[in-house]
């Protein structure tokens, strides 16, 4: 029985490092960190029980065994690439893993995804919500879209927008509501995790929120929009979510002017130093455009 092949990821990192004679440039090409490429190469050397590189300060060169092994690995990778293109086509999908809050993904990103796909059919966006966050390691996330208090976030961020809230209800219920005070007698939908939204809204109009009649408590804004669309109450949701829902024909209406919110949507910088792939840059540009257009 033939000896098992080394890990193909190790071989890919070795080929790039041998071609560039620079771990940092190899990492940039592969979309990895320099530390990851270095680890892959050392793992390959451990598997083969031999050194493939001479490492010196500011200088990287191949050992004799490395020089002998490099063209073999390069040829194998080229053959695999050509065979893949020949069998499955030269333009495989470029995948971008986008982590986003579940309600942002459902209420804002998903309705606008078709337009992005028309502009960039070669890019596949895989949206991962917090529900599946444990299925994806940090190194696999390309873009981390967050909703929260930007100033409290532990990593560097790029601000996309500040948010506002607006109460919404079913179209048929709207005729019963003439002023913010009328909301005190309505069934109010409470969104867990956003406990201060009703308090913030009523305070903005000088009303006592303790006199309000709370009904349903839900764990996502997406669920609250479904309840509102069914005529089961009134919910305070992000104004951009309300505008998007109305745009696509949901039977809801906004009941007042927006009230400011301290939370924001922002892009969190990922903890890796590799240069961004072009497709990641395209998705980020789309997000910036989307949030700017829906303010």
pLDDT at 3 over 80: no
Which tens digit of pLDDT belongs to each residue from 194-252? 878 998 999 999 988 776 677 888 989 999 999 999 999 999 999 999 999 999 999 99
DSSP state string for the chain: -PPPPPPHHHHHHHHHHHHHT-HHHHHHHHT--HHHHHHHHHHHHHHHTS--EEEETTEEEE-HHHHHHHHHHHHHHHHHHHHHHHHH-S---EEEEEE--HHHIIIIIHHHHHHHHHH-TTEEEEEE-GGGGGGS-GGG-SEEEEEE-GGG-SS-EEEEEEEEEEEEEEHHHHTT--SGGGGGGSEEEEETT-TTHHHHHHHHTT--GGG-EEEEEES-HHHHHHHHHTTS-BEEEEHHHHHHHHHTT-SEEE-S--EEEEEEEEEEPPS--SPPPHHHHHHHHHHHHHHHHT-
Q: Where in the chain is the domain with CATH 3.40.190.290?
A: 94-295
CATH topology of domain 8-88: Arc Repressor Mutant, subunit A (1.10.10)
pLDDT band at residue 55 using 50, 70 and 90 as cut-offs:
very high
pLDDT band at residue 1 using 50, 70 and 90 as cut-offs:
very low
Average pLDDT score over residue span 282-295: 87
Which tens digit of pLDDT belongs to each residue from 104-137? 999 999 999 999 999 999 899 998 886 554 455 5
Average pLDDT score over residue span 4-14: 91
CATH topology of domain 94-295: D-Maltodextrin-Binding Protein; domain 2 (3.40.190)
Predicted local distance difference test score (pLDDT) of residue 84:
81
Predicted local distance difference test score (pLDDT) of residue 230:
94
pLDDT band at residue 184 using 50, 70 and 90 as cut-offs:
confident
Q: Where in the chain is the domain with CATH 1.10.10.10?
A: 8-88
pLDDT band at residue 288 using 50, 70 and 90 as cut-offs:
very high
């Amino acid at each position: 029985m033939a000896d098992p092949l080394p890990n193909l990821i190790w071989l890919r990192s070795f080929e790039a490092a041998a071609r560039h004679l620079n771990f940092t440039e190899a990492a940039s090409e592969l979309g990895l960190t320099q530390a990851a490429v270095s680890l892959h190469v050392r793992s390959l050397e451990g598997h083969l029980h031999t050194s493939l590189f001479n490492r010196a300060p500011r200088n990287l060169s191949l050992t004799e065994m490395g020089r002998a092994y490099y063209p073999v690995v390069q040829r194998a990778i080229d053959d695999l690439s050509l065979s893949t293109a020949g069998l499955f086509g030269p333009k495989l999908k470029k995948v971008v893993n986008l982590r986003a809050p579940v309600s942002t993904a459902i209420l804002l990103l998903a309705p606008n995804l078709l337009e992005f796909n028309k502009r960039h059919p070669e890019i596949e966006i895989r949206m991962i919500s917090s529900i599946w966050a444990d299925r994806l390691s940090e190194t696999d996330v390309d873009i981390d879209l967050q909703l929260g208090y930007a100033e409290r976030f532990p990593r560097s961020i790029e601000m996309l927008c500040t948010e506002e809230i607006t109460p919404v209800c079913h179209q048929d219920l709207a005729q019963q509501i003439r002023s913010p005070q009328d909301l005190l007698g309505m069934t109010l939908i409470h969104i867990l995790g956003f406990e201060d939204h009703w308090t913030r809204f009523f305070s903005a109009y000088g009303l006592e929120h303790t006199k309000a009649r709370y009904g349903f408590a839900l764990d996502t804004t997406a669920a609250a929009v479904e309840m509102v669309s069914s005529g089961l109450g009134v919910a305070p949701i992000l104004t951009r979510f309300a505008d998007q829902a109305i745009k696509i024909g949901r039977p809801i209406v906004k009941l007042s002017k927006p009230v400011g919110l301290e939370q924001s949507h922002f892009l969190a910088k990922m903890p890796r130093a590799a240069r961004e792939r072009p497709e990641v840059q395209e998705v980020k540009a789309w997000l910036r455009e989307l949030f700017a257009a829906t303010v």
